[in-house]
Amino acid sequence: RSRLDMRPQGGPPATEQLVAEETAQRLQLLEEVYQQVPALIQVFLFDLLTGAVLARKGRGDSQVKIGMLAEKVPAMALYLRDLVATDDDDRMEDVEIGASRVTVVVAVVEETQEAVALFADKSQPTTLISGAVQRAIRAYAARLRARGVPTLG
């Protein structure tokens, strides 16, 4: 059965309700990361098949400074994911990029073919950032499975 077939009669159309529920789940994922990473500049969720940004959250004026780099992250992640996949059907889990003032972590949500990209000030250790992102991703995937949303994992 389709997710759309499982919606109750009445109320908003099933597609609108589905989009609203998925948007709420995505925003909750970003909020969890936002709360756990004090040095966060920007975090966003994007589709791994198209590179389209699905949700975004940030803090402060620093978002403007990383804007051009943030625009390139989905395309770079898609390229790296395809490159890794050519090696015996391997899969990319995450990528870390360190610059003099900023750390970028991109982590794959395998169950939904999405990825989280996080930009943080270099003051926070990368291991803490990666751990926070991975915990939020596991919680997000678990919530989707609990709601009966079809996932790949």
Q: Which amino acid is at 144?
A: L
The pLDDT value given to residue 128: 93
What percentage of the chain has pLDDT greater than the value 90? 54
Q: Is the pLDDT of residue 1 over 50?
A: no
Could you tell me the pLDDT band of residue 3, with boundaries at 50, 70 and 90? Answer: very low
Cα separation of 150 and 153, whole Å? 9
Ranges 7-11, 27-31, 80-84, 120-124, most confident: 27-31
Residues 143, 149, 152, 153: is their CA dihedral positive or negative? positive
User: Is beta strand 40-47 parallel, antiparallel or unpaired with respect to 94-98?
Assistant: unpaired
The pLDDT value given to residue 101: 87
Q: What is the pLDDT of residues 11-45, one digit of tens each?
A: 555 778 778 888 899 999 999 999 999 999 999 99
Q: What is the mean pLDDT of the chain?
A: 85
Cα separation of 130 and 105, whole Å? 7
The pLDDT value given to residue 4: 47
Residues 122, 126, 132, 137: is their CA dihedral positive or negative? positive
Specify the 3-state DSSP secondary structure of 23: helix
Cα separation of 21 and 16, whole Å? 9
What is the longest distance spanned by two Cα atoms in the chain? 55
